[in-house]
Amino acid sequence: MDIAASFCLAKANDFDNPLSLQGNAMNSQPWMAIILAAGLGTRMKSARPKVMHAVAGRPMVAHTAAAALEAHASQIACVIGPAMDEVETALAAVAPDCRFFVQADRLGTANAVLAARAALEDFPDDVLVLYGDTPLLRPATLVRLRAALEGGAALAVLGFEAVDPTGYGRLIRDETGALIAIREEQDSNPHEKAVRLCNSGLMAFRPGVALSVLDRIGNRNAKHEYYLTDAVEIARQAGLTIAVETCPEEEVMGVNDRVQLAQAEALMQARLREAAMRGGATLIAPQTVTFSYDTTLGRDVIVEPNVFFGPSVTIGDNVEIKANSYMDHCLVQAGAVVGPFARLRPGADIGPDAKIGNFVEIKKAVIEAGAKVSHLSYVGDARVGAHANLGAGTIICNYDGYRKHFTEIGAGAFIGSNSALVSPVKIGDGAYIGSGSVITRDVEPGALAVERSQQKNLPGWADKNKAKQPK
Ligand code: UD1
Ligand code: CA
């Protein structure tokens, strides 16, 4: 079966996506998300754009775009820096209609939004500004922020109570509780620094408000940058209504360095593990299992400790993944047992009730129903027929140094231990291969192929040999 097609056929229950809206009331009016992703991310000390660093196997900026789409953004604009094509590539997979705008110089977050001026000028509906470095954002929070505009505000700011507010902009309110300004850390006095209500970076604008406010933002501050956060004071002076919404800190933690990246990863993993368990999987030691954002598990799956799920893994019902297994871009169908210490590489399709044992590596191969590859084997570019049995140490020699070739093993075939199958080669249904054989020619169904020199036994040889030794 074609591997791609079999992936679609898999009947694995998609466990509740922890990033999804889960039944929230939705505003059907169109809105645009502007995702800021042009920052250099100096604190990451990386050659790559900061927003391309992955959380749960997906670039941070793609998490932001996915949240916007789940909250039904009708348009997405992303502001990138010069030579940041890899962000375009990453987003193309999530949000194919995303428009990109280049911020030539990193002059601050307000300047970044204005890089998308062309998108703002002809857009008649609400605009939400999102940051590409807040990967834990939930779609429901975007829906709530928009609802604040429905409630009559011209501008809505998303804030959060920080355990440690260091590094964040502070929401400064007057004695009535109304928001009067957002003060960046470097520009705040000790009194303001003590404020724990922080700016998440997310801001929502009523139609027509964004450009008129942003065009008036200057750069008189410690960093000489055009701060998006100054929109609050300007809107206030213009007599516009400003709303503040809040959300839990973990949802909007900003990732500026590798320590925060690891913290974001830990929070995301906690969500994914919980969703897996609530979806009907048993995780014996949840804190040792690593998921990707898109891991799909069926019901009654058992995952033993120290299992790593890279991107694009689908696991069917009643599958057991034993300890210390690693897999990505693969499918494991219902009832199969994988591991311990198994490695499933891209294109591995493990059929129903098949068994993949310890120290076995499978790459781009279909292992059909009930087949067993139990110990110390490599199977690449192959089809293993139903109920075939590959003995310990079976190796498929799929590469000739230039090209990969395909091997076919028929249903019910028995491959003796320590055999090498040199591709391309075809083993017929029900055929036997003697242990230790190097098979280079096709074997017809039902035949036995043995490729090794005959065993010679020399009776009494040991004593004769001993007698020959010098005294
Ligand atoms: C920003 C906010 C701060 C808030 C914090 C939340 C400002 C001035 N400050 O600070 O109030 O508490 O986020 O995490 O907005 N970017 C550009 N172009 C630029 C500068 C930044 O596209 O010229 C992008 C970055 O890629 C990033 C986002 O804007 O995705 C935020 O920039 P960053 O430098 O991380 O801002 P913070 O200092 O964290
Ligand atoms: Ca940040």
Three-class secondary structure assignment of 419-450: CEEECCEEECCCCEECCCCEECCCECCCCEEC
Q: What is the Å distance from ligand 2's center to 425 Cα?
A: 55
Helix (H) or strand (E) run with residue 384 in it:
strand 378-384
Answer whether 160 contacts ligand 1 (Cβ < 6 A). no
Whether the CB-CB separation of 192 and 183 falls below 8 Å is answered with yes
User: What amino acid is encoded at 136 in this protein?
Assistant: L
In 10 A of CB 390, how many CB atoms? 30
| Best of 109, 129, 257 for a ligand 1 pocket test (most atoms within 8 Å of beta carbon) | 109
Helix-helix angle 139-150:60-70, to 10 degrees: 50
- pLDDT value at position 20? 52
Q: What is the Å distance from ligand 2's center to 254 Cα?
A: 5
| Best of 53, 84, 131 for a ligand 1 pocket test (most atoms within 8 Å of beta carbon) | 131
Q: Which atom of ligand 1 is closest in space to residue 80's alpha carbon?
A: 22
Q: Which atom of ligand 1 is closest in space to residue 40's alpha carbon?
A: 26
Whether the CB-CB separation of 131 and 64 falls below 8 Å is answered with yes
Q: What is the Å distance from ligand 2's center to 266 Cα?
A: 18
The number of the ligand nearest the C-alpha atom of 113 reads 1
Q: Which atom of ligand 1 is closest in space to residue 61's alpha carbon?
A: 30
Q: How many whole angstroms separate alpha carbon 221 and alpha carbon 108? A: 11
Q: What is the Å distance from ligand 1's center to 139 Cα?
A: 20
Our CA angle for 98, 41, 166, nearest 5°, is 115
Output Rg (C-alpha) for the chain, integer angstroms. Answer: 30
In 10 A of CB 438, how many CB atoms? 14
Whether the CB-CB separation of 296 and 310 falls below 8 Å is answered with no
Q: Which atom of ligand 1 is closest in space to residue 39's alpha carbon?
A: 26
| 18 phi/psi in degrees, rounded to 5 | -70, -10
- pLDDT value at position 27? 59
Answer whether 108 contacts ligand 1 (Cβ < 6 A). yes
Confidence (pTM):
0.91
State the catalytic residue, choosing from 63, 375, 387, 405.
375
Averaged over successive runs of 10 residues, the pLDDT of the chain (471 residues) comes to: 35 42 59 96 95 98 98 98 96 96 97 98 95 97 96 97 96 95 96 97 96 97 96 97 97 96 98 98 98 98 98 98 98 99 99 98 99 98 98 98 98 98 98 98 98 96 97 87
Whether the CB-CB separation of 367 and 386 falls below 8 Å is answered with no
Q: How many whole angstroms separate alpha carbon 143 and alpha carbon 156? A: 12
Closest residue by CA, ligand 1 atom 31: 131
User: Which residue in 277, 349, 281 sits closest to 317, CA to CA?
Assistant: 281
β 170-173/179-183 pair status: antiparallel
If phi over 0 gives left and psi between -120 and 50 gives alpha, with beta otherwise, what is residue 348? beta
Specify the residue for token string 């990505």: 328
Answer whether 296 contacts ligand 1 (Cβ < 6 A). no
Q: How many whole angstroms separate alpha carbon 437 and alpha carbon 433? A: 7
Catalytic annotation present for 375: yes
Tokens of 131: 């940051």
Burial class (CB in 10 A: 0-12, 13-18, 19+), 276: buried
Whether the CB-CB separation of 201 and 131 falls below 8 Å is answered with yes
- Secondary structure class of 204 (helix, strand, coil): strand
In 10 A of CB 158, how many CB atoms? 27
Whether the CB-CB separation of 103 and 38 falls below 8 Å is answered with yes
Residues contacting 255, CB < 8 A, separation 6+: 50, 53, 55, 60, 133, 134, 135, 261, 263, 264
Q: What is the Å distance from ligand 1's center to 9 Cα?
A: 43
Whether the CB-CB separation of 123 and 116 falls below 8 Å is answered with no
Q: Which atom of ligand 1 is closest in space to residue 169's alpha carbon?
A: 11
Specify the residue for token string 């900061």: 50
- pLDDT value at position 471? 87
Answer whether 204 contacts ligand 1 (Cβ < 6 A). no
User: What amino acid is encoded at 431 in this protein?
Assistant: A
Q: What is the Å distance from ligand 2's center to 96 Cα?
A: 25
Burial class (CB in 10 A: 0-12, 13-18, 19+), 442: middle
Our CA angle for 253, 258, 262, nearest 5°, is 65
* Rounded-to-10 torsion of CA 333, 337, 340, 343: -30
Whether the CB-CB separation of 63 and 137 falls below 8 Å is answered with yes
User: Which residue in 323, 331, 275 sits closest to 302, CA to CA?
Assistant: 323
Answer whether 79 contacts ligand 1 (Cβ < 6 A). yes
Answer whether 330 contacts ligand 1 (Cβ < 6 A). no
User: Which residue in 235, 246, 228, 218 sits closest to 184, CA to CA?
Assistant: 228
Give bridge partners of residue 146 from the DSSP assignment.
Answer: none
- How far, rounded to the nearest angstrom, does the alpha carbon of residue 107 sit from its chain's CA centroid? 31
Q: How many whole angstroms separate alpha carbon 110 and alpha carbon 129? A: 10
